Chain A
Amino acid sequence: MKPEAQKETISVANLPQEGFLELDQYIETTAKDESVLIHVLHKAQSIFGYLPREVQLYVGRKLNVSGAKVFGVVSFYSYFTTNPVGKHKINVCTGTACYVRGVEKVFDKFKELLAVENGGTTEDKIFTLKDVRCVGACGLAPVVMVDDKVFGHVKPEDVEKIIQQYREAE
């Protein structure tokens, strides 16, 4: 799924200031030009969780790249997101192997139980549900990744248990 447009405007003041410090320190160690743009955006997303316009402009100024160029890159790659995401990212693999093994029913179950569409975040901001391109664990198809943990051979009836497991930890 291609990234959606940013839904709300965020004031830089509302973003954690120590995040910008951390980002500055990282940029200190890199070249100051376009070639490191994707690397820096990866870092920024790992710090803030997402890349609102304000962060994109900040990165652009630091690397001497235009805001349009930064946005062009952010909107091109599916790994980047411009909207806040939930605490846990549920990525449902939609690679061919998983598709053939019936991942659609699993995906539908997640949508039903979390009451969100693809790309959506639950109201309590705990989960973001998203499809993801093949994670390369085709031997375990259908596969669901929650953050970095891979769940294999997932059946629709397992979905509730997976969600519950993370809800309880809250």
Chain B
Amino acid sequence: MNKVRSHIMVCGGTGCIASESDVIIKNLNDALKKQGYDEEIDVIKTGCFGFCGQGPIVKVHPDNVFYVKVKPDDCDEIVAEHIVKGRVVERLLFDEPITEEKVKEHSRMNFYKKQYRIALRNCGLINPEDITEYIAFQGYEALGKALTDMKPQDVIQLLTDSNLRGRGGGGFPLGRKWGMAANNASDKKYIICNADEGDPGAFMDRSILEGDPHSVLEAMAIGGYAIGADEGIIYIRAEYPLAIKRLEIAIKQAQEYGLLGDNIFGTDFSFNVRLKLGAGAFVCGEETALIHSVEGSRGEPSIKPPYPAAEGLNGKPTIVNNVETYANVPAIMLKGAEWFNSIGTATSKGTKVFALAGNVNNVGLVEVPMGTTLREIIYDIGGGIVGGKAFKAVQTGGPSGGVITVADLDTPIDYESLKGIGSMMGSGGMIVMDETDCMVNIAKFYLEFTQDESCGKCTPCRIGTKRMYEILDRICSGEGEAEDLHKLRELGEMIKGSSLCGLGQTAPNPVLSTMEYFMNEYEAHIFDKKCLTGTCKALAKYSINDNCIGCTACVKVCPTKCITGKVKEKHVIDQDACIACGACYDVCKFNAVVKP
């Protein structure tokens, strides 16, 4: 075997592959060969580094140099300069948005400094398509320890003591759930992994499965041992082809190594995992709906109790946990409950992965200890708002959550504190919105989503969300009436109180919470027929002010030819013909086009 003196890690997550990281790997290999270094330098395709907004990412070990936004054409230079001559390619380093300095190591970047990685511990570090790399980082050691040194009840006790709570949204204690399933005697039990990540704007589960699939398989096997199940099922979205492929490879390799299958580690414990593809239905994230979908039916939820831990798939005791929850399990098994309890807040232990997206500078996956404040996440890690605009709100919990305003930026985040300020943890989507986003329109966006995704089984959700959407749509088109505000609140409370499952019970949250914090915007839409940000087209009336120098740039882009005026003279918009597309606003360099 050749001695490898250096590794070049290239991100192979969906985001970076979309920006041609596959070609980068090929070009790097070609360049290394040309320079005669292909035997001492290895190029490795890893999972997601998390810094998706700066992709594709290339990291050189052991020099610990982190290149961002690498293009296929940059590969020759990286090899010729960095590898051959030992000189860092400065222009590909990351520009820190606040200090505007170039940063070489990821550990010095603000984006990574405050992060603490447990669930994402191997993402960006190992090749997810090679089981030996996972094993080299203590992979399957936790399973070995459980099977050979511990009784099933010891495993459950350890996880109960760790206070790990479900990361999919509800925050139910994992140890308690597993304990319930373990106590329900049955000839057959199931372990299900919920990888039907439907929350728009959340992608942590996809990244974990793409970057570290074995950690989920290992945790499922530990779960199987703890509750007495021999079959595991991963229910995964069909929209995640790369994650599916990596899981298939991982399952096959684990079987070849005897880490899945019969008599694992020479014990009499047997466990197998198979994949089940979803087909696009948000409600399938709800555990009873998910189980119906696994059974091959429409993914409609059913009334609880009975809980799946008592009667789940095919009527047998079933555990459903989310990807991120599982990814925590092997680490806890190895490092102990005390270690896990040392991280986080009084009620929420450990870390949480957030998908930071929207109008924030550093878009990506961040894993922080519970109790970190939103300000730290958005400003320190996220590098602030794009274009230096003012922060308006952040939406957590996706379509089930609510907005958090500047007043609550310093709240330490955990399950309870988020609920206290009218939002929720959810799966960890965190969408940052700035002063140009219309909150009524955002509420409409979420309701459009939930009313479309409502499965239709129960009336409050099926009809109620539709009515709420219609009212919001009316308000955004300038036809809102005073009583709409009352109707929205009444409908919202009713849907929350009477829906069958979590989807309906939380669907009104985005509306109720934006009404709570941004009532002035609702009132401006309804009473003044004005959209303060100019987002709602029907209420947007663009006009041209005295800054206009008559450059005619707006005339050229106007699709309806409704702008008139002579060169070097002030232009005018014909309000009747204007469709409020905003093209003139975008193109004007003199701040002469004013949004309403």
Which A positions have Cβ atoms within 8 angstroms of B? 1-2, 33-39, 41-42, 69, 72-73, 76-80, 94-97, 99-101, 105, 132-141, 143, 148-152
Cβ of A135 and Cβ of B298 under 8 Å apart?
no
4 more A-B contacts (CB under 8 A) besides A33-B296, A35-B294, A139-B55? A95-B200, A96-B431, A136-B197, A137-B14
A-B pairs with beta carbons under 8 Å apart, 11 shown = A76-B281, A77-B280, A94-B200, A96-B358, A99-B200, A133-B282, A136-B14, A136-B203, A138-B203, A139-B15, A149-B18
Would A152 and B296 be within 8 Å (CB), given that A42-B277, A100-B359 are in contact? no
Q: Which residue of A lies closest to B313 (CB)?
A: A35
- CA A12 – CA B301 in complex, angstroms? 35
B445 sits at the interface (CB 8 A):
yes
Check B239–A135 contact: CB distance below 8 A.
Answer: yes
Check if A96 sits within 8 Å of B398, measured CB to CB.
Answer: yes
Inter-subunit contact A150/B280 (CB<8 Å): no
Tally B residues with Cβ within 8 Å of A. 57
Beta-carbon nearest neighbor of B48 in chain A: A139
Contact yes or no, B437 A100, CB < 8 A: yes
Does A38 lie within 8 Å of B452, measured CB to CB? no
Report yes or no: A134 in contact with B200, Cβ–Cβ below 8 A: yes
Which residues of A have CB within 8 Å of B437? Answer: 100
Closest CB in chain B relative to A114 CB, distance in Å = 16
Inter-subunit contact A140/B19 (CB<8 Å): yes
Using a CB–CB distance below 8 Å, which chain B residues touch chain A?
Answer: 14-15, 17-19, 51-55, 197-203, 206-207, 238-241, 276-282, 293-299, 355, 357-359, 363-364, 395, 398, 429, 431-433, 437, 442, 445-446, 452, 455, 581-582
Give Cα distance in the complex from A2 to B451, angstroms: 11
Interface contact B200-A97, CB-CB below 8 Å: yes
Residue B431 contacts which of A79, A97, A132 (CB distance < 8 angstroms)? A97
What is the distance, in angstroms, from A148's C-beta to the closest C-beta of chain B? 7
| Cα of A38 to Cα of B290 in the assembled complex, Å | 13
Q: Which residues of B contact A38 (CB under 8 A)?
A: 276-279, 293, 296
B279 near A96 (CB under 8 angstroms)? no
A105 — which chain B residues lie within 8 A by C-beta? 581-582
Q: How far is the CB of A60 from chain B (nearest CB, A)?
A: 12
Which 6 A-B residue pairings sit nearest by Cβ, starting from the closest?
A: A139-B52, A150-B18, A77-B279, A136-B203, A95-B200, A97-B357
Contact A99-B52, Cβ < 8 Å, known A78-B281, A152-B19 = no
Chain A residues with Cβ below 8 Å from B431 are 96-97, 100
Q: Is the CB of A139 within 8 A of B53?
A: yes
Known: A76-B299, A139-B15, A140-B18. Contact between A41 and B279, CB under 8 A? yes
Bound: A96/B396 CA distance, A: 11
Check if A134 sits within 8 Å of B279, measured CB to CB.
no
Q: A40 to B364, alpha carbons, bound, how many Å?
A: 36
Q: Is the CB of B296 within 8 A of A79?
A: no
| Contact (Cβ within 8 A) B240 A79 | no
A contact residues around B17 at 8 Å (CB): 150
Point out the residue from A34, A132, A134, A152 that lies within 8 Å of B202, measured CB to CB: A134
With a cutoff of 8 Å between Cβ atoms, the chain A residues found around residue B355 in the complex are 138
Q: A100-B359, A139-B55 are in contact. Are A78 and B280 (CB under 8 A)?
A: yes
B293 to chain A, nearest CB (A): 7
Query: For B53, what are the chain A residues with a Cβ–Cβ distance below 8 Å?
Result: 139
**In chain A, what residue has the closest Cβ to B437?**
A100
Are A139 and B201 in contact, CB atoms less than 8 angstroms apart? Answer: no
Q: How far is the CA of A1 from the CA of B453 in the complex (A)?
A: 9
Q: Provide the residues of chain A in CB contact with B279, threshold 8 Å.
A: 38, 41-42, 77-80
Rounded to whole angstroms, the CA-CA distance of A34 and B519 in the bound complex is 50
B365 to chain A: closest residue by CB = A139
For A37, the chain B residues whose CB sits under 8 A away are: 296-297
Which of A99, A136, A143 is packed against the most chain B CB atoms within 10 Å? A136
Q: A42 and B238 in contact (CB under 8 A), knowing A96-B445, A136-B14?
A: yes
Cα(A19)–Cα(B431), bound, Å: 44
A141 to B446, CA, bound (A): 18
Tell me whether A133 and B293 are in contact (CB under 8 A).
Answer: no
B357 to chain A, nearest CB (A): 4
B52 touches A138 (CB 8 A): yes
B202 to chain A, nearest CB (A): 7
Q: Which chain A residues lie closer than 8 Å to B452 at the CB level?
A: 1-2
**Quick check: A132 and B299 within 8 Å, CB to CB?**
no
A80 (CB) vs chain B CBs: closest residue: B279
With A76-B281, A100-B358 already in contact, the answer to whether A34 and B429 are too (CB < 8 A) is no
Nearest chain A residue, comparing its CB with the CB of B355: A138
Chain A residues whose CB sits within 8 angstroms of the CB of B298 once the complex forms: 72-73, 76
B433 to chain A: which residues have CB within 8 Å?
100
Q: Are A134 and B199 in contact (CB under 8 A)?
A: yes
Which residues does chain B contribute within 8 Å of A134, judged by CB atoms?
Answer: 198-203
**Which residues from B are CB-within-8-Å of A136?**
14, 197, 202-203, 206-207, 239-240
Shortest distance in angstroms between A88's beta carbon and chain B's nearest beta carbon?
16
Q: A96-B358, A97-B357, A138-B355 are in contact. Are A151 and B18 (CB under 8 A)?
A: yes
- Cβ contacts under 8 Å, B278 to chain A: 38, 77, 79
Cβ of A95 and Cβ of B201 under 8 Å apart? yes
Alpha-carbon distance between A138 and B281 when the two chains are bound, in angstroms = 19
Q: Residues of A contacting B395 with CB < 8 Å?
A: 96
Smallest CB separation, B294 vs chain A (Å): 8
Q: Which residue in A101, A132, A152 is a CB contact (below 8 Å) of B15?
A: A152
B445 touches A73 (CB 8 A): no
CB distance from B297 to the nearest CB of A (A): 7
